[in-house]
DNA sequence: ACCCGCTTCTTCATCGATGAAGCACGCGAG
DNA sequence: CTCGCGTGCTTCATCGATGAAGAAGCGGGT
């Protein structure tokens, strides 16, 4: 009797050892009500003795068509996601929906190699997917759509774009970025600022050379979030009678303090110097505050700085910003996916409320 | 030709449509070098036309014996994990190892129902497991062990306990909690403190009534981390000639600021009032600082407070603490697991370095 | 003319379980 | 005595792919 040292014991082998059918062993583990308590005990004892690890979840999943996990794919991959508190909050929200349902959360790995990035989505062993914040033309989303699994999209692309991609009716959760952005910009304009500047994160997935971008480029952003926030700022500016073309808009790569600092430097070097900075995220704003400090500009005396998100760090920085219910967004997305999986009616795309939070980083211009 | 609206197209069907064998279609997707480019194109085109979602990763995983994901099971479940910055840092570390390897990260859901909590481990569709910080007798670990998958343990149980559980040689990553705890305590004693008190998180998985605990109870903790940190404090106290029995040790449930605040209140109510608080985590210390502020005690003038972990919040709080390389711990654990999966030599259990970080929350007693 | 080796595709068995349906038995009701 | 039904277990087919081994065609070396 050759003994493979490492091949795990199978259900069949337990069945043979006990002298019952495989199905009965299966039932002993998965449907205790289907056999007598005595036999079940005998089976479990034998299973223990043989070192049977329990029904292989992979095989069971194949047969059942369910694996008890939902996937989350994030534009920038895991390393970045864990560095950004807002991304973490979103994950926390999804988890808070998945956990009570007994569902695992599979974080889909990213990659700098486009093919591997897509393969990770194609190969994810999950019952459904949450795709968070990808560009309008990102093949990642296409890869998620072809899988034909229940799908929920967070933030971007927008519902109209999802329909165009052949996935109409896909549940979507986000906020009205344009209106929210207009609200912060309006706040600064109301304070009397007339020389605004913007520090933005990426407009496209592909790496770019950071720098100032004109209105045409702004409107061409494939990141709908970027596009809409910029549009919101512009709406407010126009409403206040400002010439948007005169507002310097810097755009860099990721949403990090480093990019924010570089961006602030860039726009503060324009003449006349802006009196207020609109940053597309709190992390960018954090960098902008550092730049201001380094340049010896007092905030808000010499320079007002506003962010976006209301990240956990914002209160500590005294940052004026827009609160998005990030965690709730994740929860809603996770719940929507679970609803789809349970064949419950899928919720319609919905924007969660965002609200202006005024703190100490903004004030009237000097 | 009946048309199941929702059953996905299978590889067999694509094969039939093209007029080739199933294996060839499989190769078209997974091993492009195994067939002519022309045929491959034809197959992919047909697949697209039929709406074939690509090889079912579940079925492929079953056949290959690999699913491309590693699992992480955490003592307290996901919701708690995402609330604790230290737990998030650990996850970030694991992710930073998994991602470059193209491996997904499955977060195993927790549950208040013990059976479901274990089932989540048994049913996790993964190639290997990281079990983080569970009690010495936690059946969760037993469930992980019986699965027979490559396994790595973080923090606790300790390697000797793992051997006793029938899993000797299991890679383990953690820090020398006892020595590290002795270092912080020694720091306070060196400053001249003679009236110490301790605020601890749980000693067992089961919920307890918070309160002061004696030395016997301390040594009986099934959380090795708790046990060893307390032992480390005691080592230092004894070395300084202090009677450990006279040191009030509060222990509550989770590692949260709320518990820390309650704990600080409790030990500060003892007479004579302690001049220094040793907290088993920075989150507990955060609560202790709040309690101190509420009681009108100046830190460190009236009360010194020390934490453990060096969480991201610690610098901002000016908290004296012990730095554990949490992220690196996660990375090492993830890497060890990937090594096991690749049949590379598994690293021996190792303690990563921890070091005392003195900030402004500690000073000489009044 | 023959053998070799490469490319390209096929055949066969198998990964490890579970749903659906079926059979045998015992028991209570009519 | 017989029918009906619930309990307890089995049989059969199937979930959707891939590894190993093999066969056909083809060009090149001798």
Q: Pick from A56, A79, A105: which is nearest to B78 by CB?
A: A105
pLDDT band at B252 (very low <50, low <70, confident <90, very high): very high
**Structural domain for A299, as ranges:** 177-324
pLDDT (0 to 100) of residue B348: 84
DSSP-based three-state secondary structure for A72 = strand
Q: Strand C positions with any atom < 7 Å from protein CB? A: 7-12, 14-20
Distance of alpha carbon B58 from alpha carbon B123, whole angstroms = 14
**Residue A316 vs residues A39, A361, B285, B313, B320: alpha-carbon distances, Å:** 62, 11, 18, 11, 20
A99: CB partners within 8 A, 6+ apart:
B77, B78, B79, B109, B110, B111
Is the CB atom of residue A8 positioned under 7 angstroms from any atom of strand C? yes
CA dihedral B288, B293, B294, B295 (to 10 degrees): 90
- Give the three-class secondary structure for A207: coil
Q: Which residue of A has its CA nearest to B50?
A: A146
In a domain, B58, yes or no: no
Q: Which residues in B lie closer than 8 A to residue A82 (C-beta atoms)?
A: 88, 91-92, 95-96
pLDDT over 60 at A3, yes or no: no
Strand C atom within 7 Å of A22 CB: yes
- pLDDT for B340-364, tens place per residue? 999 888 888 889 999 999 999 999 9
Mutate to test the interface with A, among B65, B66, B104 (most CBs of A within 10 A): B104
> What is the rounded average pLDDT of the residues B19-44?
94
Tokens read off for A76 = 């920038």
Residues 6+ apart with CB under 8 A from A4: none
pLDDT at B1 over 50: no
A157 & A292 share domain? no
Q: To the nearest whole number, what is the mean pLDDT of chain A? A: 95
| Count of Cβ atoms closer than 10 Å to residue B85 Cβ | 19
> What is the pLDDT at residue B93?
97
Contacts of B216 by beta carbon, 8 Å cutoff, 6+ apart: none
Can you give the three-state secondary structure of chain B, one letter per residue? CCCCCCCCCCHHHHHHHHCCCHHHHHHHHHCHHHCCHHHHHHHHHHHHHHCCCCCCHHHHHHHHCCCCEEEEEECCHHHHHHHCHHHHHHHHHHHHHHHHHCCEEEECCCCCCHHHHHHHHHCCCCCEEEEECCCCCCHHHHHHHHCCCCEEEECCCCHHHHHHCCCCCCCEEEECHHHHHHHHHHHHHHCCCCCEEEEECCCCCCCCCCEECCHHHHHCCCCHHHHHHHHHHHHHHHHCCCCHHHCCEEECCCCCHHHHHHHHHHHHCCCCCCCEEEECCHHHHHHHHHHHHHHCCCCCCCCEEECCECCCCHHHHCCEEEECCHHHHHHHHHHHHHHHHCCCCCCCCEEECCEEECCCCCCCCC
pLDDT tens for B198-250 read: 999 999 998 888 999 999 999 999 999 999 999 999 999 999 999 999 999 99
A77: which 2 tokens?
Answer: 């991959």
CA distance A19 to A28: 14
Pairing relation of β-strands B128-132 and B151-154? parallel
pLDDT in tens, A302-319: 999 999 999 999 999 999
B191 and B300 share one domain: yes
The answer, yes or no, to whether residue A166 has pLDDT greater than 80, is yes
- C-alpha span between B362 and B303 (Å, rounded): 8
CA of B350, C1' of C30: distance in angstroms: 77
Report the alpha-carbon distance of residue A362 to residue A304 in Å, rounded: 4
Yes or no, beta carbons of B107 and A104 under 8 Å apart: yes
> Is the residue at A356 inside a domain?
no
Helix, strand or coil, per DSSP, at residue A203: coil
pLDDT beyond 60 at A1? no
Residue A128 lies in a domain: yes
Q: Is B142's Cβ below 8 Å from some Cβ in A?
A: no
Tokens 């509550």, residue located: B252
CB atoms under 10 Å from CB of B230, counted, come to 28
- Interatomic CA distance for residues B75 and A89, integer angstroms: 20
Nucleotides of D under 7 A from a protein CB: 7-12, 14-20
Give yes or no: residues B113 and B144 share one domain.
yes
Residue A115 has pLDDT above 80, yes or no: yes
Is B200's CB less than 7 Å from nucleic acid strand D? no
Query: What gap in Å lies between CA A136 and CA A223, rounded to an integer?
Result: 6
How far apart CA B79 and CA B56 sit, in angstroms, is 30
Domain identity same for B146 and B280: no
Q: B129 - beta bridge partners?
A: B71, B151
Q: Which of B324, B340, B361 is the last residue of a domain?
A: B324
Counting the structural domains of chain B, the total is 3
- CA-nearest of B143, B147, B109 to B127 is B147
Q: Is residue B56 part of a domain?
A: no
**DSSP alpha helices (H): ranges in chain A?**
11-18, 22-30, 37-50, 57-64, 77-83, 85-98, 114-122, 139-146, 159-164, 177-190, 215-219, 224-239, 257-268, 282-295, 314-317, 326-341
| Mean local confidence (pLDDT), A208-230 | 95
Instruction: Encode A73-100: b = buried (16+ Cβ within 10 Å), e = exposed.
Output: bbbbbbebbbbbbbbbbbbbbbbbbbbb
Residue A34 Cβ under 7 A from any strand D atom: yes
- Summarised one tens digit per residue, pLDDT across range A6-34 is 678 999 999 999 999 999 999 999 999 99
Whether B319 shows a pLDDT value over 60: the answer reads yes
Omega before A300 cis (within 30°)? yes
One domain, residues B316 and B190? yes
Compute the nearest-CA separation of A220 from chain B (Å). Answer: 29
CB A154 within 8 A of CB A160: no
Residue B300: asked if its preceding bond is cis (omega within 30°), the reply is: yes
Q: Enumerate residues 222 to 261 of chain A having a beta carbon within 8 A of any beta carbon in chain B.
A: none
Give the tens place of pLDDT for each residue, A341-359.
998 888 888 899 999 999 9
Is A224 contained in some domain?
yes
Nucleotide nearest to B10 (CA to C1'): D16
Q: Within this chain, do residues B181 and B320 fall inside the same structural domain, yes or no?
A: yes
In this prediction the pTM is 0.94
Distance B35 CA to D28 C1' (A): 22
Task: Say whether both A260 and A121 belong to one domain.
Answer: no
pLDDT digits (tens, 9 = 90+) for A167-209: 999 999 999 999 999 999 999 999 999 999 999 999 999 988 9
Contact assessment for residue B150 and residue B130, using Cβ atoms and an 8 Å cutoff: no
What is the distance between the terminal CA atoms of chain B, rounded to a whole angstrom?
A: 89
The C-alpha of B150 sits at a distance from chain A's nearest C-alpha, in angstroms, of 12
Asked if residue A317 and residue A193 are part of one domain, the reply reads yes
Q: Is A164 on the interface with B (CB under 8 A)?
A: no
Q: Is residue A357 within 8 Å of residue A323, measured between CB atoms?
A: yes
CATH of the domain at A32: 1.10.260.40
The reply to whether A11 Cβ lies less than 7 angstroms from strand C is yes
CB contact under 8 A, A98 and B78: yes
Domain co-membership, A216 together with A138: no
Q: Is residue B205 part of a domain?
A: yes
The answer to whether residues A198 and A318 belong to one domain is: yes
Beta bridge partners of B356: B322
Q: Is A21 on the interface with B (CB under 8 A)?
A: no
Q: A344 CB contacts (<8 Å, ≥6 apart)?
A: none
Handedness of CA A124, A106, B124, A104 (dihedral sign): negative
Quick one: tokens of B130?
A: 């990281």
Q: What is the DSSP letter of A7?
A: S
Nearest by CB to B109, from A99, A108, A148: name it. A99
User: The tokens of A90 are what?
Assistant: 């979103």
- Report the C-alpha gap between B307 and B314 in whole angstroms: 8
Beta bridge partners of A276: A196, A304
For residue B197, count other CB atoms closer than 10 A to its CB: 24
Average pLDDT of span B9-31: 94
Tokens encoding A307: 């962010």
In a domain, B299, yes or no: yes
DSSP string, A139-157: HHHHHHHHTTS-EEEESSS
- Residue B229 maps to which CATH number? 3.40.50.2300
Query: How distant, in Å, are the alpha carbons of A57, A299, B130, B154, B204 from that of A54?
Result: 8, 62, 19, 24, 28
Residue B357 lies inside a defined structural domain of this protein: no
**Which percentage of chain A shows pLDDT scores above 90?**
92
Q: Are residues B181 and B316 in the same domain?
A: yes
Chain B nearest-CA residue for A92: B82
User: Which structure tokens are listed for A82?
Assistant: 């864990």
Mean pLDDT, rounded, for A230-246 = 97
| A183 & A304 share domain | yes
Q: Say yes or no: A77 contacts chain B, CB-CB below 8 A.
A: yes
Q: What is the pLDDT of residue A6?
A: 66
pLDDT tens for each residue of A118-131: 999 999 999 999 99
pLDDT tens for residues A59-103?
A: 999 999 999 999 999 999 998 899 999 999 999 999 999 999 999
Instruction: Give me the sign of the Cα torsion angle A326, A328, A332, A335.
Output: positive
């Amino acid at each position: 009797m050759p003994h493979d040292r490492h091949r795990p014991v199978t259900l069949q082998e337990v069945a043979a050892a006990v002298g019952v059918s495989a199905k009965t062993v299966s039932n002993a583990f998965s449907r205790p009500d289907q056999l007598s308590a005595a036999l079940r005990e005998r089976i479990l004892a034998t299973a223990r003795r043989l070192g049977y690890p329990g029904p292989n979840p992979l095989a069971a999943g194949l047969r059942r068509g369910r694996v008890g996990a939902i996937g989350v794919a994030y534009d920038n991959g895991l390393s970045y996601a864990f560095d950004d508190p807002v991304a973490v909050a979103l994950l926390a929200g999804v988890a808070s929906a998945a956990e009570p349902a007994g569902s695992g959360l599979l974080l889909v790995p990213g990659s700098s190699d486009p093919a591997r990035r897509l393969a990770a989505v194609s190969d994810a062993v999950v019952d459904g997917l949450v795709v968070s914040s990808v560009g309008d033309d990102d093949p990642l989303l296409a890869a998620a759509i072809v899988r034909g699994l229940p799908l929920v999209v967070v933030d971007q692309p927008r519902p109209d774009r999802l329909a165009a991609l052949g996935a109409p009716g896909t549940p979507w959760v986000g906020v009205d970025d344009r209106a929210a952005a207009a609200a912060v910009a309006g706040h600064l304009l109301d304070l009397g600022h007339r020389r605004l500047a913007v520090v933005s994160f990426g407009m496209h997935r592909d790496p770019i050379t950071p720098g100032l971008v004109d209105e045409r480029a702004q409107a061409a952003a494939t990141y709908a979030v970027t596009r809409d926030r910029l549009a919101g700022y512009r709406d407010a500016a126009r409403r206040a009678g400002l010439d948007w073309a005169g507002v310097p808009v810097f755009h860099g790569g990721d949403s990090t303090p480093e990019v924010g600092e570089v961006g602030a430097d860039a726009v503060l070097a324009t003449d006349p110097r802006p009196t207020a900075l609109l940053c597309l995220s709190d992390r960018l704003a954090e960098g902008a505050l550092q730049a201001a400090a380094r340049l010896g500009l007092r905030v808000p005396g010499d320079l007002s700085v506003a962010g976006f998100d209301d990240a956990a760090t914002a209160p500590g920085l005294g940052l004026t910003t827009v609160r998005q219910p990030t965690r709730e967004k994740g929860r809603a997305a996770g719940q929507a996916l679970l609803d789809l999986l349970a064949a419950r009616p899928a919720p319609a795309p919905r924007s969660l409320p965002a609200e202006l939070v005024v703190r100490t980083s903004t004030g009237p211009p000097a």
